[in-house]
Chains A and B, each alone.
Chain A
C-alpha cells in the first residue's frame, strides 16, 4: 500500500512567522508532488507542485523535495491568519494518474 504520511497537527504558528509542513511518502517511484490547501468544508485548492529535488519558490511559499529521503515539505513565510487551513500533501506515482493524499496537517495562524 502506497502511503503518504503527514503530522495531523494542529500546528500553531504566530502571525508573521514561518510555518513548516512536512510529508513523507513510501513509493520510491513517485514522480510528482503537490501541496493543496483545504478550508473546512471546501475542496482542495492547489498551492504548489514540485517534480525535481531541491527548492521551488512561489511568493510566500517554498516547496522542498528530497527524493532520496522520500520527503517533501512546504514552508509558508510571513504567515497570515488567512493561511489557517488544512494542508494536504499529494503524490503521483510513475505511470499513475491518481493522486495519493496524506491525511493533512491542520495549521492555525495566531494573530
Chain B
C-alpha cells in the first residue's frame, strides 16, 4: 500500500541553524501538507501546497518557514533560523484532491532545537 515517507526520523539542531525536513508524498497525490505537533499538544496545520504554490498557510507559518517541491517526488519544509519553540514532531501529509479527500500522514520527523 502506498505511503508517505519522511526523512530524517529525528533531527537535533542548534538554535539559529537552518533545517530541511523532507517528505515523499504518495505518488498520484496532488495536495501536500505540513503539520506539527508540539509534545503533549494538538496537531496544528502549517501549510498546504498545490500546483507548485502555497494554497493555504497558518499564522505559525511565518517568514522563517518555506516549502518547496524541488522535483517530481520530494516535498520539503525549510526552517531558516530555528528557535527553541520549533521543537516538535513535523508531519507531512498528502491527498489526491483538496476538498473532501482524506489526508494521509507520514511517520513524522522529530525536531529538537537546543
Contact = CB atoms under 8 A, between A and B. Distances in A.
Interface of A: 31-32, 34, 36, 42-46, 49, 51, 88, 90, 92, 95-104
B91 A43 contact: yes
A101 B41 CA distance: 10
Q: How many B residues are at the interface, by size bracket? A: 20 to 34
Is chain B's interface secondary structure helix, strand, loop, or mixed overall?
strand
Contact of B33 (A31, A46, A98): A98
20 contacts: A32-B99, A36-B105, A42-B107, A43-B106, A43-B108, A44-B91, A46-B102, A92-B99, A95-B99, A97-B31, A97-B33, A97-B95, A97-B99, A99-B35, A99-B103, A101-B42, A101-B44, A102-B42, A103-B42, A104-B42
Interface in B85-114: 89, 91, 95, 98-100, 102-108
Interface of B: 31, 33, 35, 41-45, 48, 50, 55-56, 58, 89, 91, 95, 98-100, 102-108
Contacts of A103: 41-42
Contacts of B44: 101
Contacts of A31: 99-100
Contacts of A45: 105
Given A31-B99, A92-B99, A100-B45, 14 more contacts: A34-B102, A42-B107, A43-B108, A45-B105, A46-B102, A95-B99, A96-B56, A97-B50, A97-B99, A98-B33, A98-B58, A99-B35, A101-B44, A103-B42
A97 B100 contact: no
A93 to B, nearest CB: 10
Contacts of B107: 42-43
Contacts of B106: 43
B83 to A, nearest CB: 23
A88 B44 CA distance: 12
- Which of B42, B91, B107: most chain A Cβ within 10 A? B42
A46 B104 CA distance: 7
B44 to A, nearest CB: 7
